[in-house]
Each structure stands twice: as structure tokens, then as C-alpha cells.
Amino acid sequence: MATRPDIVSRDVTAPVPIVEAAPAGLAVRRPGLARRLAILFESKASVIGLCIVLFWVAVAIFAPVISPYSPTGLTGALAQPPSAAHLLGTDHIGRDVLSRLMWGSRVILVLAPLSVICALAVGTLLGLAAGYLGGLVDEVVMRLLDAVLAFPAILLYLLVIAAVGPSALNIVLALTVGSSPGIARIVRSLVLDLRSREFVAAARMRGESKWYIMLVEILPNATGPLVVDGCIRVGYATFAIGTLGFLGLGMPPPTPDWGKMVSEGRNWISMSPWIVIAPALAISSLVVGLNLFADGVREAAQRG
């Protein structure tokens, strides 16, 4: 009998390969975090920025241990240049510059991230409400935020602190008021895009409340851009705190404040430049480190 050409002979005794199926309901996890960390550490600039930030964090943590003198104590050596006894010299009333620099890092590394966290919390809530609820809520919230944004940032900080007085809490309050509107506008734009997605429609069909949908369904999908924006704003907050200290609206004396150190030493810059150079370099190095690290975070978020 003739064999049909479209039929291929097969050895029935050959073993059939077994393909193991994945267990039902088991999702394949994407290595998103690991990939983003790899991208972050591939960038030399972001690694350098992270090292600078970690250096100042270590200085702030161990300041009580490694500080050679009290930050407010008078050594009796007035405006002495750097030496073995005072590695960065002393200021015009005899305080050790290095010790004040170490203790001042604690102030700025606490207030800058804290103010950004508060601004993110306030701005996120306002942006969620304006973007999801829409209508009158959106109009009222956005017009109020536009009124705040009409003021230059530094002028707004000055107005808030001049009204309530200089203190750590009031510095955080001023930076929160100044940063929240920009964050709220970012969140609102993200919510306007996310609220039309299928998972939001499914939550509405389940009968979930508006705040549940905003906080549980929408907010987790908007955290990526917010993390990047928050990292960038920490550098801006650091510079703003230094500016307020320079203008005399930072931490009240005798608390060490890098901006105030620059302000106090400016009249002595021609005779004792180290009084100004040390805190000025500290502020600039920390801001540069934060910005370099934030650029790395942004690149990792875009490519990851």
C-alpha cells in the first residue's frame, strides 16, 4: 500500500519530552528593583554622589564621637588658621570650625529630608483629590496652589519664617508650604492619566470608596515619578536651608548652622577666609552629591 507523502513516520518508542507547567497562579517576577539598582550603580556620577552623601551622613551620626571640641565652646584661640590643634581653624570668637561643621551636618541632614517628606505627603493628598475628584474640588485646590506658586520660593520662605519665627519646626513648615504646590501639580497630572485605566474602573465596579481608589489603586502606580522628584527636592531643600541660615532665619543660636556660619564669617573673609570656605564647601558638596545621586535615580527609573 502506498504511503501518503504528508504523513511522517514516527518512532512510538521514543520518549516524549515532558514540559513542566508552572503552578497555577504563580506569576513571574520581573527583576525591576534589581535592574534599577544595577543601572544606578553603573553610573559613576551617581556612585560619586552617593559616596558624598553617605560621607556626610556618617559625619552627622558620629559627630558626638569624632568632634574634637564642643560646637559652642570657646577655645580661646580667636580666628586661628588651620593647625594640628584645629584642623579647620577657629572662628572670630574662638569656636572650632571643624566641630561646628560636624554638628551642623546633623541639622541640615535632618531638616532637608523631613521637609521633603512632609511636602510629599501634603502635595500628594492635594494632587490626588484634585486629579481624581475633579470639578469644584480641582478648581479650588489648583487656584490656591497657583496663588502660592505666584510667590518666589525664597520670598515665601522668608514670609513664613518671619511670621512664625526661626526654629527647626518652622523651617520644615516653610519648606513644606513652598514645595507642596509643585508636587501636587505632578501628582494631579499622573492621576488624570491613571484614573481612566481598567484597574480603576474595576475598583469602582466593586464599590470601593473614592479614598480607597486614590490611596490603594492609584497612588502605588504613581510612586516612581514621586520618588525621583523627592530625591531632587532634597538637594533644593538643603540649599534653601543654607540660604535661610545665611539670612539669619535658620536655626536659632547657639545651634551650629552651615548657612549662619557663612554669614558670621563673611566680615572676616579677607583676614580669615577659612571661616567661610569650610561651611560653603560643605553646603556645595552636599548639594552636588544629592543632585548627582538624584540624576542616577532618575535614569534608573526611566530605563528600569
Is the pLDDT at 101 greater than 90? The verdict is yes
DSSP string, 190-242: HHHHHTTSHHHHHHHHTT--HHHIIIIIIGGGGHHHHHHHHHHHHHHHHHHHH
- Report d(CA 71, CA 84) in Å as an integer: 18
Residue-wise pLDDT for 25-82, tens only, equals 333 344 566 777 777 778 788 899 999 999 999 999 999 999 999 998 888 888 889 9
Mean of the pLDDT values across residues 199-206? Answer: 89
User: Hey, what's the cell of 149?
Assistant: 506658586
CA dihedral 105, 109, 111, 115 (to 10 degrees): 160
CB environment 248-268: b (16+ within 10 A), e (fewer): ebbbeeebbbbbbbbbbbeee
254-301 per-position pLDDT tens digit: 888 899 999 988 888 888 899 999 999 999 999 999 999 888 888 777
For the chain, the first-to-last Cα distance in angstroms comes to 63
Q: How confident is the model at residue 304 (pLDDT cuts 50, 70, 90)?
A: low
Residue 215 has pLDDT above 50, yes or no: yes
CA distance 86 to 76: 12
Quick one: pLDDT at residue 62? 95
pLDDT tier at 18, thresholds 50, 70, 90: very low
Grid coordinates belonging to 91: 572662628
Going by pLDDT thresholds of 50, 70 and 90, the confidence category of residue 23 is: very low
Per-residue pLDDT of 102-157, as tens digits, reads: 999 999 999 999 999 999 999 999 999 999 998 899 999 999 999 998 888 888 88
Task: Determine the pLDDT at residue 20.
Answer: 42
* Neighbour tally for 287: CB within 10 Å: 20
The pLDDT value given to residue 225: 85
Backbone angles phi, psi at 96, to 5 degrees: -70, 120
Residue 288: the pLDDT is: 93
Domains contained in the chain, CATH given: 43-64+89-303 (1.10.3720.10)
**pLDDT of the residue at 46:** 86
Write down the pLDDT at residue 27. 39
pLDDT at 32: 63
pTM reported for the whole predicted model = 0.82
Closest CA to 137 of 197, 205, 211: 211
Task: Report whether pLDDT(6) > 50.
Answer: no
- Determine the pLDDT at residue 33: 65
